[in-house]
């Protein structure tokens, strides 16, 4: 039987609902309530609140400086927030630190592998930090090596592996103690597009097969599209929260993009004639409207010689950011090139 993503989601929702029911609990897996954080007087997180449900892949999307890493470090228990509450399955994170660290697998942005050790040795080292020894440690290493199809690589030195394989070993390390929630900070940094896709394939498999819930930070729009729900951050505040398709739906209709030699003048004329609100981004006019396809011939007729090109597309998460903040989300583009 071929399972579609909807089928899988239904099965996982039903499994996680059963698990929650068996615990007698309907509390979210992770709850972040009004979390604020300051670096000296600079407010890096401005009262963030959201929940993550069991079995979902939740994305924290934002341009550089939006507060993703600060929140990630707080969730990874590296330091407490200035104020606010964080609960994992109804228990306060900071009051149950050791239990919480066992329930969580963490993959930091900067590599944490020892290149001079083999894959297996790296895993053993990590396992011991979690109190795993002997037969149990060996079994767990076998388990994660199999899950992440790394078995054939287990005796290779980590420094000889590609970037994508190293990332997979980091994932394996984070799973050794069988966490319930996996948190990853910008996991695609430094990976080529193929390795990025592969990483997401593994995250989705882990979610389904190991009933993991995943929280991932990213500044890449295309990555956020893989998430079930996304919290979009800007300057430490929550801009938008929901399923990518719903967020894009909020923008509505179409986005028409137009290139002209005189963008300011054209923006003014379009506003007067068509009652639209063009925004100029890197010299291009962006317009949200319904029926973009029928607007194109109207614009072409009205400004024949002044248009270099014009196109229409459905809204992206970048348009959601523009819609909510009034300016462009540019951080991820260089990384995608």
Q: Which residues bind ligand ADP (CB under 6 A)?
A: 39, 42, 44, 62, 64-70
| Closer residue to ligand ADP, CB minimum distance, 68 or 140 | 68
| Closer residue to ligand ADP, CB minimum distance, 38 or 202 | 38
CB of 224 to ligand ADP, least distance (A): 13
Q: Name the phi and psi angles at 322, rounded to 5.
A: -60, -45
CB of 331 to ligand ADP, least distance (A): 8
The closest of 40, 45, 52 to 234, measured between CA atoms, is: 45
| Closer residue to ligand ADP, CB minimum distance, 62 or 164 | 62
Helix/strand/coil for 35: strand
CB of 236 to ligand ADP, least distance (A): 6
Give residues with Cβ within 8 angstroms of 94, minimum separation 6: 77, 80, 86
Give dist(CA 119, CA 137) in Å, integer.
Answer: 14
| Closer residue to ligand ADP, CB minimum distance, 93 or 141 | 93
* Spacing of C-alpha 39 from chain mean position: 24
Q: Which helix (H) or strand (E) holds 217?
A: strand 213-218
Q: Which residues pair with 59 in a beta bridge?
A: 216, 230
CB of 62 to ligand ADP, least distance (A): 5
The alpha-helical segments, DSSP class H, found in 116-188 are 119-129, 134-147, 163-175
Tokens of 271: 């506003």
| Closer residue to ligand ADP, CB minimum distance, 75 or 191 | 75
| Closer residue to ligand ADP, CB minimum distance, 245 or 334 | 334
CB of 3 to ligand ADP, least distance (A): 35
| Closer residue to ligand ADP, CB minimum distance, 122 or 217 | 217
CB of 67 to ligand ADP, least distance (A): 5
CB of 73 to ligand ADP, least distance (A): 8
**Cα–Cα distances in Å, from 128 out to 87, 121, 137, 148, 179?**
27, 11, 8, 20, 15
The closest of 318, 324, 142 to 237, measured between CA atoms, is: 324
The closest of 222, 152, 151 to 191, measured between CA atoms, is: 222
């Amino acid at each position: 039987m071929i399972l579609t993503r909807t089928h899988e989601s239904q099965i996982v929702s039903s499994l996680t609902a059963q698990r929650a029911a068996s615990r007698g609990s309907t509390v979210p897996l992770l709850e972040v309530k009004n979390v604020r954080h300051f670096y000296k007087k600079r407010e890096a997180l401005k009262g963030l609140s959201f929940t993550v449900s069991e079995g979902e892949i939740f994305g924290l999307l934002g341009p550089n400086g939006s507060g993703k890493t600060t929140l990630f470090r707080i969730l990874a228990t590296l330091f407490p927030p200035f104020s606010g509450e964080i609960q994992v399955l109804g228990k306060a994170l900071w009051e149950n630190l050791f239990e919480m660290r066992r329930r969580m697998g963490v993959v930091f942005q900067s590599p944490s592998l020892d290149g001079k050790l083999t894959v297996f040795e790296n895993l053993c080292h990590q396992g011991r930090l979690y109190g795993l020894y002997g037969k149990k440690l060996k079994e767990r290493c076998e388990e994660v090596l199999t899950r992440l199809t790394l078995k054939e690589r287990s005796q290779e030195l980590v420094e000889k592996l590609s970037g994508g394989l190293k990332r997979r070993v980091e994932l394996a390390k984070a799973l050794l103690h069988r966490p319930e929630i996996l948190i990853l900070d910008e996991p695609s940094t430094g990976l080529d597009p193929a390795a990025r896709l592969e990483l997401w394939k593994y995250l989705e498999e882990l979610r389904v097969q190991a009933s993991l819930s995943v929280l991932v930070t990213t500044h890449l729009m295309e990555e956020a599209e893989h998430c079930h729900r996304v919290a979009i951050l800007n300057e430490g505040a929550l801009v938008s929260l929901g399923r990518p398709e719903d967020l894009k739906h909020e923008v509505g209709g179409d986005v028409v993009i137009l290139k002209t030699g005189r963008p300011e003048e054209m923006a003014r004329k379009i506003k007067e004639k068509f009652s639209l609100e063009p925004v100029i981004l890197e010299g291009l006019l962006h317009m949200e409207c319904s029926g973009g396809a029928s607007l194109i011939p109207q614009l072409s007729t009205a400004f024949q010689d002044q248009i270099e090109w014009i196109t229409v597309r459905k809204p992206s998460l970048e348009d959601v950011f523009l819609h909510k903040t009034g300016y462009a989300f540019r951080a991820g583009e260089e990384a995608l090139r």
